[in-house]
Structure 1
Amino acid sequence: MFREVRGLPAYLRLLVGTQLAFNVGFFAVLPYLAQHLGTALGMAGWAVGFVLGLRTFSQQGLFVVGGALTDRYGPRPVVLVGCVLRIAGFGWLAFAEETATVVGAVLLIGFAAALFSPAVESETAREAVRFEAATGTPRAQVLAVFSAAGQAGAFLGPLLGSLLLGAGFRAVCLAGAAVFVAVLAGHWRLMPAREGAHEREHRRGGVRALLAGPGFAVVCLAYGSYLVAYNQLYLSLPAEVERATGSQAALGWLFALSSLLVVSVQLPVTRWAGRRLGLRTALVSGLCVVGAGFLGVAASVPLRLTGAAGLLPGAFLVVAVTLGQMLLVPAARALVPDLVDDRHLGLAMGALSSVSGLVVLVGSSATGTLTAGGGVVLWSVLAAVPLAGALLARCLRHGERATG
């Protein structure tokens, strides 16, 4: 990955490094939040779940706000404000001891990401298109470097947090804040000021522009079907691991396997897909691979495997979902600039996350009713979700582009 990063222009290297730093700072804190809330602060289990759900809502649900502000004012001020809010949120969380103050800190942390993430993602997509035009390097390859950097941060962040956890959760939060202080300083110095794409226009028509052609909505729904499936790594997979081994201790190893796969294999997979597959085909193929992972678990149910052998279906699922992710995530993000007007790219990247998050909320609620029962029915239904997304993605027309 480092060789590919060195080959990028300076601004793209900044954006890739930003994604790495964002995730290091965030994942240094997040894995230890639930235990802190339940053990140190004595919050009930339902309250812990509620707080974590608020964080997700304030982040994913409001991505569209950050995207719209990026289009309006340009990426630099949105990223800088987001970093300031994340620093304040982590600092607040470090000293929060009451439920109300914890909720406030968590909402601030989530909203900060809703600002800076769409800004950075839309800038990366825009610069990847320019780099492709200038050098012929496929934009999906650049976006794959961006995704791999994020996964590397998700892998390194918990390690940083675990090293500091002996000094207490407060030290972990302050370390996360320190990472964002460094990000803020770097972007204050290095991120160019650029006028918003429609700073002088009235704030209307953006949503209508996104919905004018069906292509963007198709990508959102297909991407949402993947996220519904990916979310099962946190819902259905833990139950399967506990059934097979009697505990969830092996989950950490499975998640580490996923992160290491992305860091080590993402770029070769994307290069191969760039030579062999178009963006639409990569999106469809990735969804099919994800679906195959769930079908593999469904096929193993009658065998009633336990112990180490019982972990094999779960490991197969993690590998399949991760490989599918490597194909479809860069492809979905690379398709967006072709499906929307460049003036609304920030709004589009935010809407991709927000609409997909809504699909996850509805889809996970529906599939969650089957989780307790488990069995072939559960895993077959879960396989059907990404496969339906693949069928939908096939409706994308080759070469479809935004107009107006």
Structure 2
Amino acid sequence: MKTRSQRLEIPVLLGTQTLFNIGFYAVVPFLAVVLSSDFLLASTAVGLILGIRTFAQQGLFLAGGTLADRFGARTMILIGCAVRAAGFLTLAASLWPSTPHLGMFIFGTLLTGFGGALFSPGLNILVAAAQSARDQGQVQHVRRATLFAWLSITGEIGAVTGPLMGSALWGWGFSTVAGFGAVFFVAIGIFLALTLGKTDTASALSAATGAGTKASKPHSSFRECLRDRQFLAFCSLHAADLLAYNQLYLAIPLELERQDMPTQWLGLIFAWISILTLSLQIPLSWLAARIGPAATLRMGYILSALGFSVLAFIPSSAFGEETSLVRILCAVTLMTLGHMSVHPTALSLVPKFAGLNATGSYFGLLSTCGGLAVLLGNMLFGWLLSHTAGAAELSFIPWLVMIIPLLLASWLGSRLVRDRMLRTRSA
């Protein structure tokens, strides 16, 4: 029988993802504008700084997850909120002098990334524990959307709302926008300090899964996840998903530019992604529950690969001379459906890979591998793009950087998950 606090915990966790994304997207989309207009940096330098910020978050997830295992998910979530608030405050302060301070601004961007690396694994740990607890009280044949699918929806609500709030404050300058972000994350921290239970990570997961004494030593999960060759292989293969989804922010804007299409179309594309996420995430999760994780991963990776294949092998003329946007929207739709299929599924599999070990390091390693893939994959994609520019017969080559890893993930990743699940059931 669930207690009242347990019933309240799931809405708090899902609402927290919305709040995190509102605060994040109210500020971060405007960083490129400030770097180019206030600091007069070239686009290459802007891309490098923003890339480092992304890697500071994704690349340090393993550290954040390990710390959450050691000191507790709730503790690291609260510290992460404080670090991100400090980062936003530093961004605001960098513009207060008569001559803006670039070093302070870069330090602020790194703090925002590090804050996310601290609180996101903690949130995933608590959601995984809540999902396990929900599964314990669920009749076996009943299949419902996972909490990670709902986490995607609540996060998307925040991703849509945040830029609107930032735009509304833009008239008072970026310092006001960043200051709002800092105050907002302080408020989130206070809210979570009052509402999140004080149960430590190991106890929460142990209670949810029925784990024994091994779960009471969460610090061992760092070594265990690195020794788990199957999980390392899965992380390496699944990294293709984050690399692919990141192209919505790199390859798609470049494709619009290559087709001489207005940059304003990018807003329509992201609005379409939000519509797809909000309307189809739960139906896709129901389908995933019906067909199983291995089949879901296979389907999702293939959908994303098909999206890039549209850009690689189908010319704009196939859709008519004036409808290049239709081709890009087809590609984006397939990529988004693929990500919506595999991302919640992969997150929900992490506790199954972890077994009796605490899950923070496992969640962290999954994201860190994705961050490395984005860093290296984007560099290779950009290099190939520049070396094939002007050669129409070679224009498909850069897209193979996305297509080949996704096809490998579809073939090998789904088999690996199926074998792991069979071994878990027989244990």
After TM superposition, the score normalised by the length of structure 2 is 0.86
Contact residue 279 and residue 334 of structure 1 kept, 8 A: no
Could you say what secondary structure the match of 2:198 adopts? coil
Contact residue 340 and residue 402 of structure 1 kept, 8 A: no
What is the alpha-carbon distance in structure 2 between the residues aligned to residue 221 and residue 308 of structure 1?
40
Paired AA for residue 412 in structure 2: L
**Which residue of 1 is the match for residue 413 of structure 2?**
393
**Which residue of 2 is the match for residue 227 of structure 1?**
242
Judged with a 3 Å threshold, the aligned counterparts in structure 2 of structure 1 residues 164 and 209 are, in CA distance, closer, same or farther, namely same
2:20 matches 1:22: yes
2:109 matches 1:106: yes
Contact residue 125 and residue 201 of structure 2 kept, 8 A: no
Paired AA for residue 79 in structure 2: V
**Which residue of 1 is the match for residue 344 of structure 2?**
330
Residue identity (%): 35
**Displaced runs of 4+ in structure 1, greater than 4 A?**
136-140, 198-203, 304-308
Could you say what secondary structure the match of 2:424 adopts? coil
**Which residue of 2 is the match for residue 81 of structure 1?**
79
Paired AA for residue 61 in structure 2: F
Unaligned runs of 5+ in 2: 1-5, 95-99, 203-213, 390-394
**Which residue of 2 is the match for residue 5 of structure 1?**
none
**Which residue of 2 is the match for residue 171 of structure 1?**
176
Paired AA for residue 222 in structure 2: V
**Which residue of 2 is the match for residue 143 of structure 1?**
148
Unaligned runs of 5+ in 1: 1-7
Shift of residue 138, structure 1, vs aligned partner? 4.9
Alignment of 1:35-184 (within 5 A): 35-96=33-94, 97-136=100-139, 138=143, 141-184=146-189
Judged with a 3 Å threshold, the aligned counterparts in structure 2 of structure 1 residues 302 and 88 are, in CA distance, closer, same or farther, namely closer
**Selected match of 1:317 from 331, 344, 349:** 331
Contact residue 316 and residue 324 of structure 2 kept, 8 A: no
Shift of residue 376, structure 1, vs aligned partner? 2.5
Judged with a 3 Å threshold, the aligned counterparts in structure 2 of structure 1 residues 199 and 297 are, in CA distance, closer, same or farther, namely closer
2:30 matches 1:32: yes
Moved more, 261-270 or 236-245: 236-245
Contact residue 301 and residue 376 of structure 1 kept, 8 A: no
Post-superposition CA distance 1:335-367 (Å, at most 9, x none): 111111343301111111011211222222222
Contact residue 316 and residue 327 of structure 2 kept, 8 A: no
Alignment of 1:315-394 (within 5 A): 315-372=329-386, 373=388, 375-394=395-414
Paired AA for residue 299 in structure 2: S
Contact residue 239 and residue 373 of structure 2 kept, 8 A: yes
Post-superposition CA distance 1:208-244 (Å, at most 9, x none): 3114433312321232011121222222212221232
- What is the aligned length? 395
Moved more, 102-111 or 335-344: 335-344
Judged with a 3 Å threshold, the aligned counterparts in structure 2 of structure 1 residues 139 and 368 are, in CA distance, closer, same or farther, namely farther
Post-superposition CA distance 1:343-399 (Å, at most 9, x none): 330111111101121122222222222223262333345322211111121332133
Could you say what secondary structure the match of 2:359 adopts? helix
Shift of residue 328, structure 1, vs aligned partner? 0.5
**Which residue of 1 is the match for residue 283 of structure 2?**
268
What is the alpha-carbon distance in structure 1 between the residues aligned to residue 426 and residue 380 of structure 2?
36
What is the alpha-carbon distance in structure 2 between the residues aligned to residue 311 and residue 331 of structure 1?
30
Could you say what secondary structure the match of 1:150 adopts? helix
Could you say what secondary structure the match of 1:401 adopts? helix
**Selected match of 1:300 from 314, 339, 344:** 314
Contact residue 89 and residue 109 of structure 1 kept, 8 A: yes
Contact residue 226 and residue 386 of structure 1 kept, 8 A: yes
Post-superposition CA distance 1:79-102 (Å, at most 9, x none): 111111111111111121211111
Paired AA for residue 15 in structure 1: L
Post-superposition CA distance 1:247-306 (Å, at most 9, x none): 32211110111122101211111112212x101211111001101111122232273767
Shift of residue 18, structure 1, vs aligned partner? 0.6
Contact residue 229 and residue 385 of structure 1 kept, 8 A: no
What is the alpha-carbon distance in structure 1 between the residues aligned to residue 374 and residue 144 of structure 2?
27
Contact residue 239 and residue 369 of structure 2 kept, 8 A: yes
**Selected match of 2:190 from 141, 162, 185:** 185
Shift of residue 168, structure 1, vs aligned partner? 1.1
Moved more, 208-217 or 123-132: 208-217
What is the alpha-carbon distance in structure 1 between the residues aligned to residue 425 and residue 383 of structure 2?
39
What is the alpha-carbon distance in structure 1 between the residues aligned to residue 134 and residue 193 of structure 2?
24
Moved more, 175-184 or 12-21: 175-184
Contact residue 284 and residue 394 of structure 1 kept, 8 A: yes
What is the alpha-carbon distance in structure 2 between the residues aligned to residue 393 and residue 24 of structure 1?
33
Judged with a 3 Å threshold, the aligned counterparts in structure 2 of structure 1 residues 310 and 200 are, in CA distance, closer, same or farther, namely closer
Paired AA for residue 174 in structure 1: G
Contact residue 144 and residue 286 of structure 2 kept, 8 A: no
Judged with a 3 Å threshold, the aligned counterparts in structure 2 of structure 1 residues 185 and 160 are, in CA distance, closer, same or farther, namely same
What is the alpha-carbon distance in structure 1 between the residues aligned to residue 217 and residue 303 of structure 2?
43
After TM superposition, the score normalised by the length of structure 1 is 0.91
Post-superposition CA distance 1:177-209 (Å, at most 9, x none): 232122111111011112342897594x43331
What is the alpha-carbon distance in structure 1 between the residues aligned to residue 25 and residue 352 of structure 2?
32
Contact residue 88 and residue 182 of structure 2 kept, 8 A: yes
What is the alpha-carbon distance in structure 2 between the residues aligned to residue 53 and residue 39 of structure 1?
18
Judged with a 3 Å threshold, the aligned counterparts in structure 2 of structure 1 residues 249 and 133 are, in CA distance, closer, same or farther, namely same
